Chain A
Amino acid sequence: MSLAAIETVEQAGGLQVLLSGDWTLATMPEPLSSLEARLREIGAGAKAWDLRPISRLDSAGAIVVWRAWGRCWPAALAVSTEHRSLLERVVAIRVERKEAGSRAARPGLVFLGEQALAALDHFAGLLGLLGQGVLDLAYLARQPAQIPWREFSANVYKAGALALPVTALIGFLIGIVLSYLSALQLKTFGADVFIVNLLGISIVRELGPVLVAVLVAGRSGSAMTAQIGVMRVTEEIDALATMGVSRSQRLVLPKVLALAVTMPLLVVWCSAAGLVGGMVSAKLQMGLSYAFFIDTLSRVVPVANVWIGVGKGVAFGFLIALIACHFGLRVRPNTESLSSRTTTSVVTSITVVILVDAVFAILTRNVGIPF
């Protein structure tokens, strides 16, 4: 293996340039632009070129030589037939630039309008998915044999049973922190016993459902989007369609129903863990006995709060799964789109959950609050 070399020979007709060695990507000295400039400079006054001593010439080498010639054939050229055919290929190159414009900066108003249209489009998509779900339910009610029990139970297991440890842990820790911080404040007012009211209402009504919703959106929502998205990338959804399997019945419906069923259970579980955490902390810090805590809890927190929490669980679970499936089905067949859709799915579902939570707060403002 030899390096690319340039020689000049004085001849009767004038200067002749001799190229020898290996003119390949691996053997040409870097950077290539300076090699090209040197070749151009040496060749400026040359009458003839001899490329026969070149032992190996690849397309990168051929491009360097062609560019050094200023993109036209020299007056006299000696070259082997193989290398000439390679050079001819280089001559035939037409570099086609991508037509610009799609990425051009847009004025703010247009951008805003496009975003609004996109949001509207997603909303329409979600409504369509919802409508399809209702039709599927009606169909399955008449054809109970087709109900996808397996997918449903698999989703309940993945989104519910497997999430039990983490939701309990988070609920317990939040309960402890909340109880500890509230106790510090309440003590200064001598209002220690109200810790039970405070923890009871806030955890059961508000924190439990929202915490679980955020956790499930990150855990199961992203998984659902990614799963459906990869199935789009690998054309598995098309394969299902050709087998006459409805994607909405087999993929979307079981996920939405499973999450709508599991979420309220997770909410109850997480709220209970939060209350246990609060109880433990209250006992350690303020010496409130467990019996007193439990007894007071049942007196000061109306049971309506539990139903509100459960109701939120159903609504949040339903929305998270619906949004996750919607974005999964919108994944375009490439990895970049997969990752951006998964991100959008999680962000959207958490945002929607918080919005819906606010709506719940307004609608239930007269329910379940004592005195």
Chain B
Amino acid sequence: MNALASGGHAPGPVIEIRNLSTRFGDIVVHQDIDLELERGQVLGLVGGSGSGKTTLLREIVGLLRPSAGTVRLFGQPVLDPDPARQRTLRRRFGMLFQQGALFSALSVYDNIAFPLRELRTLDEAMIGELVMLKLAMVELEARHAWLMPAELSGGMTKRVALARALSLEPELLVLDEPTAGLDPDRSESFVRLIRMLQMALGFTVVMVTHDPETLGGLATRFAVLADQRIVALGSAADVLAVDHPFIRNFFGSGRAAAAIGKAAA
């Protein structure tokens, strides 16, 4: 049995955040945040611009050490001091960065193949098929595989980044603004794609988004980040019941209410 599998599907939450606080100098971004996410759920994280959503995602994936508190993924601390355990843990989730973060010196093909090659267990033919499959999944054409990141449009960059995040078949997908910069058609097919994959693979998703359609189409749980805290957490109905200015503004708008209402119903 290989190392990846030995992590096991331990029961318990996939993400477990306890008493997390973040400070940059004098600026307090988060204060005493608690958050849990069960396997197979899709959490939509919303909050105003600059409220610290990206920062929270960076702490979840272990890119940033919180000023206080702990983050556990699959029951293990993300910032495990043991490098081998940390590497194993990091292969179990995929992250889509807000700006794409593609490797600018590698072609689209090599960007997606990169994590697969890192496994060192796959032959090049298998990698080729996997890469083309991921490209097809995000609705890119095979000829796009040989473009360089600088030659992509903004939306294409997003989709390539998603394909790369998906390449290791992660159990947890962390998405920062996945549909920003996509046309409505594409964001709808993105929602369908994640839904389909989620049904087939049962992975867990945390996503930050401002787009009500994406939020309503995907999220099974909602968390609202405001005033340095999670002011509301739970199903659509739970969140709508909370009286907070941001929630009134965000979910009060017609489009958002309609989209979320669908999810609540």
- Once the chains bind, are B143 and A96 in contact (CB under 8 Å)? yes
With CB as the reference atom, state the residue of chain A lying closest to B135. A93
Given known pairs A1-B8, A332-B150, the reply for A82 and B199 (CB within 8 Å) is: yes
Interface locus among B26-34, B57-65, B125-133, B214-222 = B125-133
- Once the chains bind, are B9 and A1 in contact (CB under 8 Å)? yes
Does chain A have a CB within 8 A of B49? no
- Once the chains bind, are B136 and A93 in contact (CB under 8 Å)? yes
- Once the chains bind, are A94 and B200 in contact (CB under 8 Å)? no
For chain A, residues 71 to 101, give those with C-beta under 8 angstroms from any C-beta of chain B.
82-83, 85-86, 89-90, 92-96, 98
- Once the chains bind, are A334 and B148 in contact (CB under 8 Å)? yes
- Once the chains bind, are A26 and B200 in contact (CB under 8 Å)? no
Does chain A have a CB within 8 A of B149? yes
B52-75 to A contact mask, C-beta < 8 Å, 1/0: 000000000000000000000000
> Which secondary structure dominates chain B's binding surface?
helix
Which of B2, B109, B137, B143 makes the CB contact (< 8 A) with A30?
B2
- Once the chains bind, are A58 and B169 in contact (CB under 8 Å)? yes
Does chain A have a CB within 8 A of B84? no
A48-68 to B contact mask, C-beta < 8 Å, 1/0: 000000001111100110010
Which of A26, A92, A336 makes the CB contact (< 8 A) with B4?
A26
Q: CA of A29 to CA of B3 in the docked complex: distance in angstroms?
A: 10
- Once the chains bind, are A334 and B5 in contact (CB under 8 Å)? no
Which of A33, A63, A85, A337 makes the CB contact (< 8 A) with B130?
A63
For chain B, residues 1 to 17, give those with C-beta under 8 angstroms from any C-beta of chain A.
1-2, 4-5, 8-9
- Once the chains bind, are A335 and B2 in contact (CB under 8 Å)? no
- Once the chains bind, are A82 and B200 in contact (CB under 8 Å)? yes
Count of interface residues, chain A, beta-carbon cutoff 8 Å: 38
- Once the chains bind, are A85 and B92 in contact (CB under 8 Å)? no
- Once the chains bind, are B149 and A334 in contact (CB under 8 Å)? yes
Could you say which residues of chain B place their CB within 8 Å of the CB of A336? 104-105
Q: CA of A56 to CA of B104 in the docked complex: distance in angstroms?
A: 34
Could you say which residues of chain A place their CB within 8 Å of the CB of B200? 56-58, 82-83, 85-86
Could you say which residues of chain B place their CB within 8 Å of the CB of A337? 105
Could you say which residues of chain B place their CB within 8 Å of the CB of A1? 5, 8-9
Query: A98 → chain B, closest Cβ, in Å?
Result: 5
- Once the chains bind, are A30 and B121 in contact (CB under 8 Å)? yes
Q: CA of A86 to CA of B105 in the docked complex: distance in angstroms?
A: 31
Q: CA of A31 to CA of B92 in the docked complex: distance in angstroms?
A: 19
Query: A81 → chain B, closest Cβ, in Å?
Result: 10
Given known pairs A60-B169, A334-B105, the reply for A90 and B126 (CB within 8 Å) is: no
- Once the chains bind, are A96 and B142 in contact (CB under 8 Å)? yes
Which of B128, B129, B199 makes the CB contact (< 8 A) with A90?
B129
- Once the chains bind, are B133 and A56 in contact (CB under 8 Å)? no
Does chain A have a CB within 8 A of B134? yes
For chain B, residues 161 to 194, give those with C-beta under 8 angstroms from any C-beta of chain A.
168-169, 171
Does chain B have a CB within 8 A of A361? no
Does chain B have a CB within 8 A of A348? no
